[in-house]
Amino acid sequence: MQDMRDAFFDVICENALHDDLIYLVTNDMEVHSLERFSSKAPDRLINVGVAEQNMINVAAGLASTGKRVVVFGISSFIAFRAYEQIRMNLCSMNLPVTIVGLGHGYSFSFDGPTHHAVHDLAVLRTIPELEILNPGDSSVAAASAEYALTAAGPLYVRVDKGEYPNLHGSSSDLTAGFAVLKPVQKITIVATGSLVVTALKVAQTLEERGVLVGLVDAYRVQPLPVGLAKELQPASMVLVAEEGVSSGGLYSAVRDVSQVSSEVRYLGSGIPGPQRIAYGSREWMVEQEGLDEASLFAEISQLAELPSEASQVLRG
C-alpha cells in the first residue's frame, strides 16, 4: 500500500531533481514528496499563489520555451476556474503540460461542494486534445507520472490522497488505456479511480458466493480506448462506477465508444444529482451517493438476481 500522491510525486521528484527542464507550478499547494525538490531546486517550483487562471497561463508560457511543466492543485479550482486557459492555451496550442488534479471526487469531503471534484472529468472531457488519466492504484499512478514526463501534449491526471494497493504489478505501460482485473462476464463493472478498489472488493465477495462479475480498470478516461468496447462485448450488463457525475463522465465515455444496443444495459453508478451541500467524512459522502462497497454489492446482487438476504450481508 502507498499513498497515491507519493506514488505519483516520488517519480516526478526523482526526475525533476536531475532534469533542469522540468518545472513544477502550483496554486499554493504542498505535496510531501516534493519537499526534497523544493529544498534543492526552489527556482523550478513556482508558486503562483491562489491564481489558477494565471497558473495555467504561466505553465503554457513556460512550456512554449521548451520546459516540461507539471501543474498541481485542487482539481475543482483548476478544472472549472481555469477551463478557458486549459482549452485555449494548453490544448489549442498542444503544449506538453500535465495538470495534476488533487482532491479526487469527495476527498475534500468536509469543505463543501466548492471543493468536490465530481464534475472535473465531465467538464474536461469536452476538450478532445486533452488526455485524461484517472489512476485507481499506486502502480498506474506511478506510471502516469512517468508518462507525464514524456507526453507530447496536454494531460490531466487525477491523483487521490490516501493509501492504495498495487493492482497491476511493476508494468509502467499505459498504452492499452485499461486493464482487465476480472475477466469480462455477463455483468461487468467498468470502474475508474477510487472506485476500482471498491469494485474489486465487491467482485471478490460475489465470487466467494459463486457469482462471477467482470471488472475493468478504465484508468484512461480520454481518449477512452476503443479496445474497451471490444473487450466488453460478452457483457450484457455494464455498470460504470466512478466518484463523479455519470452524465459526461466515464459512463458517458463508455457509451460513446460502445455499440449501444438494446441487448446491453448500461448503468451509471456515479453521482447522479445536484451539488451536495453537506459536510462529513468521505466514506459517509460516498455512502450517501450509493458508491460505497455495500451499496455496489447490493446493486450488483440485484442485477444478478441474488436472494435479497445475500445482498444484505455487507450492510450488516
Instruction: Tell me which residues touch other proteins (CB under 8 A).
Output: 20, 43-44, 46, 48-49, 51, 53-54, 56-67, 84-85, 88-89, 92-93
* CB 46, min distance to other proteins, A: 7
Nearer to other proteins, 93 or 180 (CB): 93
139, HSE (Cβ side, Cα atoms, 13 Å): 15
Residues composing the chain: 316
Residue 50: CB atoms within 10 A of its CB come to 14
Q: How far is the CB of 201 from other proteins (least distance, A)?
A: 44
Q: How far is the CB of 86 from other proteins (least distance, A)?
A: 11
C-alpha triplet 56, 58, 60: angle, nearest 5°:
70
Q: End-to-end CA distance of the chain: give it in Å, rounded.
A: 27
Residue closer to other proteins by CB (options 68, 282) is 68
Report in angstroms how near the CB of residue 23 gets to other proteins at its nearest: 8
Q: Are 105 and 75 in contact (CB under 8 A)?
A: no
Q: Which three cell numbers stand for residue 37?
A: 525538490
Residue among 48 and 241 whose Cβ is closer to other proteins:
48
Residue closer to other proteins (CB basis): 37 or 106: 37
**Closest distance to other proteins from the beta carbon of 64 (Å):** 6
Single-letter code of the amino acid located at 295: S
The least distance separating other proteins from the CB of residue 28, rounded to whole angstroms, comes to 13
Q: Which CB, 97 or 122, lies closer to other proteins?
A: 97
Q: Which is nearer to other proteins, 58 or 224 (CB)?
A: 58
Which secondary structure element, helix H or strand E, spans residue 224, and what is its range?
none
